[in-house]
Homo-oligomer: A and B are copies of this chain.
Amino acid sequence: MSQILHSSPVKKLITKSLKTDCKELKEKGITPYLKVILVGTDPASLIYTANKKKYCEKVGALCDIVSLSENILESEFLNIINDINNDQQVDACIIQLPLPRQLNHLDYGRLINKEKDVDGFHPENVFALISNNLKSHNFVSCTPKGILTLMQENQIQIAGKKIVIIGRSMIVGKPLAMLLINHNATVTVCHSHTKNLKEITKNCDIIVSAIGKAKFINESYLSPKNDQIIIDVGMNTDTLGQLCGDVDYDNVFNKVAAITPVPGGVGPMTIVSLVQNLLQASKNRLSL
């Protein structure tokens, strides 16, 4: 019987502790406060940002969605971010990606001050991760952090395990590789140039797919031993317009030891990580 790695029980547990932490911070005069910058009206971005706000408010934190015009000038955009960076009441800020064309050249990892960079994209935060030297003022990128939490809370052993990550983005693949190497996994990073991908995915303990191709991974990618764990980071739309992951869930379900569903797997963990980072930023403000 395959195990479904639902985020809900883990989320419930963490939400409880985040509520407690948030209450304690408020008693000390600090209300955790996140600004989410949303440029334009991309439907997926609207949903993502609304979910982030909703979860912030659920644990007792403040969240403003700063909605900006698709056509905003670069100078105006940078002024708004500068104000947020300087606002001492704001603990944290994230920029919802993607950005429109006129802002696309910006080095978004540096726009937010590192102390407020709860997305963990700032060079200082990435460096702390790669050098395995994370301090309380550093933030780990939310999706990798959420995947780690989901695995740890489900008692999935990481040390010594062979983990194949498909995808090498700066948002998932690369930081996740560093995080899992630091947790003593043997990590292989695959991508569009990888040859014989199936041979590689068949010979590992855990597969993490972050490629953005609907139902790409099916049983032909899996070990015949039915003992692998699948972490599906994909958020795609299938031919029927339904949300689905990178993994053909129904096809592989009986061929794996455990699998994250889409929706209800990695996605909600990303938001949980974001709010964990937000509360960490608030605690840092308190200790200043």
Residues of A within 8 A of B (CB): 109, 123-124, 126-127, 130-131, 159-160, 162, 168, 170, 174, 177-178, 181, 184-191, 193-195, 200, 203
Cβ-defined contact, A188 with B186, below 8 A: yes
Distance to closest chain B CB from A121 (angstroms)? 10
20 contacts between A and B (CB under 8 A): A109-B127, A109-B131, A123-B123, A123-B124, A126-B130, A126-B131, A130-B178, A160-B193, A160-B195, A162-B200, A168-B181, A174-B181, A177-B177, A185-B193, A186-B189, A186-B193, A186-B195, A186-B200, A188-B188, A188-B189
- Measured between beta carbons, the chain B residues less than 8 angstroms from A126 are 127, 130-131
- Measured between beta carbons, the chain B residues less than 8 angstroms from A174 are 130-131, 178, 181
The residue among A131, A181, A186, A195 with the most chain B CB atoms within 10 A of its own CB is A186
Chain B residue at smallest Cβ distance from A131 = B170
Q: This chain: how many copies in the complex?
A: 2
Distance to closest chain B CB from A264 (angstroms)? 30
Q: A126-B130, A127-B127, A170-B130 are in contact. Are A186 and B181 (CB under 8 A)?
A: no
Measured in the bound complex, the distance between the Cα atoms of B178 and A193 in whole Å is 15
- Measured between beta carbons, the chain B residues less than 8 angstroms from A188 are 186-189
Chain B residue at smallest Cβ distance from A129 = B130
Query: Given contacts A123-B127, A162-B200, A188-B188, could you give 17 more A-B pairs where the C-beta distance is less than 8 Å?
Result: A109-B127, A109-B131, A130-B170, A131-B170, A131-B174, A159-B193, A160-B193, A162-B195, A168-B181, A174-B178, A184-B191, A184-B193, A185-B193, A186-B191, A186-B200, A188-B189, A203-B203
- For the complex of A and B, 6 pairs with smallest distance between CB atoms: A123-B127, A184-B193, A188-B188, A186-B194, A160-B195, A160-B193
- Measured between beta carbons, the chain B residues less than 8 angstroms from A162 are 195, 200
Distance to closest chain B CB from A112 (angstroms)? 15
Measured in the bound complex, the distance between the Cα atoms of B188 and A216 in whole Å is 22
Measured in the bound complex, the distance between the Cα atoms of B188 and A181 in whole Å is 10
- Measured between beta carbons, the chain B residues less than 8 angstroms from A170 are 130-131
Chain B residue at smallest Cβ distance from A205 = B195
Other-chain residue from B124, B127, B189 in contact with A181 (beta carbon distance below 8 A): B189
Other-chain residue from B124, B130, B190 in contact with A130 (beta carbon distance below 8 A): B130
Distance to closest chain B CB from A217 (angstroms)? 16
- Measured between beta carbons, the chain B residues less than 8 angstroms from A178 are 130, 174
